[in-house]
Amino acid sequence: MVVESWQFWAVLSAAFAALTAVLAKVGVAAVNPDLATLIRTVVVLCLLAILVVATGQWQAPRTIPARTYVFLILSGLATGASWLCYFRALKLGDASRVAPIDKLSVVMVAIIAAVFLGERLSATNWLGVAMIAGGAVLVALRI
């Protein structure tokens, strides 16, 4: 079934990320980017709380391993830092130039996953990663 494939959810993620950039650019125009990030975070928190409860996915906190908490907390800190930087960049720059540079995270994930997680990419995959990097730089250039 298509909704059980990672590709389906990855494409939806990309579509929502695109909407995020455009909507956030308009939203951040009349407010401090840190406050904008806080408002966005509260909305995300409320939406996820409703989703988790409504779908019966709540899990007692004591049943979650400590290691899981450590990595989720670190991931949350990285997400917060990313969002703060992203909104500041949107406040200062064009969404059409900020978003591609933000997507250099794809390149960074490939490198970090290869080095620290032992994931293996083929030569073709690495060519794609290089093309993403080159494309992001080309889109961000003001020529």
- Containing domain of residue 125, as a range? 103-143
Q: Read off the pTM.
A: 0.83
- Contacts of residue 27, Cβ cutoff 8 Å, sequence gap at least 6: 36, 40
In a domain, 72, yes or no: yes
- In terms of domains, do 138 and 68 share one? no
8 Å CB contact between 68 and 56: no
- Give the pLDDT band of residue 141 (cuts 50, 70, 90): confident
In a domain, 134, yes or no: yes
What pLDDT score was predicted for residue 1? 77
- Give the pLDDT band of residue 143 (cuts 50, 70, 90): confident
In a domain, 9, yes or no: yes
Q: What does the alpha-carbon distance between residue 65 and residue 2 come to, in Å, rounded to a whole number?
A: 31
Using only the alpha carbons of the chain, give its radius of gyration.
18
- In terms of domains, do 26 and 82 share one? yes
Tokens of 119: 């994931």
- In terms of domains, do 50 and 19 share one? yes
Amino acid 23 reads L
pLDDT digits (tens, 9 = 90+) for 83-127: 999 999 999 999 999 999 999 999 999 999 999 999 999 999 999
- Contacts of residue 31, Cβ cutoff 8 Å, sequence gap at least 6: 39
pLDDT digits (tens, 9 = 90+) for 3-16: 889 999 999 999 99
